[in-house]
Structure 1
Amino acid sequence: MILSILILFLFFLSILQSLYYFYVLPDQVAVHYNFKLEPDWISSKKLLIGSYLIVSIAIFVLFKFLTSFLFQRGRFKVPNKEYWFSEERKQKTIEKAIKYFEVFHLILLLFLLVLFQIIFMENLSNHQLSWFWVLWVVIAGYLVLVFIWSYFYSRAFRLEHSKQKQD
């Protein structure tokens, strides 16, 4: 329940962030930078913010509705699928998998929120503040969190399976 509320909060925060920066950003913004940290792709703020909104909405819809739909039909990867989708374990397995994917959804939405915040701030500073060192920390943190999530997701099903065999 708390994860769902946090996901909804981050989703609405991304919409509010987009609305705020739509009125604050200049009409032309840098959307890509080269290795010298110089802007090498300039676009309209409508394209940048529109892309952000489309990606945020797509991720929200994909994770909220498609994952539940697929999990109910058992169409996702877990080790020892026959064991986990036996009648006595199926509902608990689905609930557990949905919980893990809610965590992943939260991580992804938070990453996007921070990533676009850095892009917005860099554009507002006229490329003087150089927020890019923060960008690399954010990307590294995201990758570490995804690795940790992947590890625990795969272990969650194996550990319980091993315990069940011992019983």
Structure 2
Amino acid sequence: MTEFRRYDPSGAREIRDTVQDAYARAYAESIASGDPFESLEAAMRRFDAYTNSAGFDLVVLYSDGEAIGQAWGWPLNDNSRWWNGLRLDKDEPEFTTEDGTRTFALSEIMVVREHTGRGHARALHDELLGGRRERRATLLVDPTNENAYARYRKWGWSRIGALRPNWEAAPTFDVLMRALPL
């Protein structure tokens, strides 16, 4: 039996060990690559920082009491650094103007390896974004990750530019957007 559980910033910090375990199982290959950005320690430092974002929202998918996937994000506020370094494909004045109600940043979607290919990622995506009050959502994707890219396009996401986040050893990602609600 599967079920979703939703956590606010405080609740997310309380289940940090669960988040870390699911992350380690979902990204075992990336962690093993030795890339400093992909290390479990770096990922959890980012998670800890994200839980300080106003409106942080975590959805965990459990199967028979075990966390098998998770997704999280937060609304961008007027002093968000999310867009720092953004290179838009088309010049759009005011594109990065935020007020806490315009854009939801979907930061992570992951499913542990032994549960992939069953629609869980889409279910997590829809659970996290369903009912959001923001008008649009954004996410960052590795442009070489063809599987993820194809999935996001199928789910209604479109590329609008590129960005290298201000995290140590961060790569450059493609920036995708989609309208909300789903």
Query: TM-score of the superposition, structure 2-length normalised?
Result: 0.32
Query: TM-score of the superposition, structure 1-length normalised?
Result: 0.34
- Of structures 1 and 2, the one scoring higher in RCO (CA 8 A, sep 6+) is 1
Higher strand share: 2
Higher helix share: 1
Q: Which has the larger radius of gyration?
A: 1
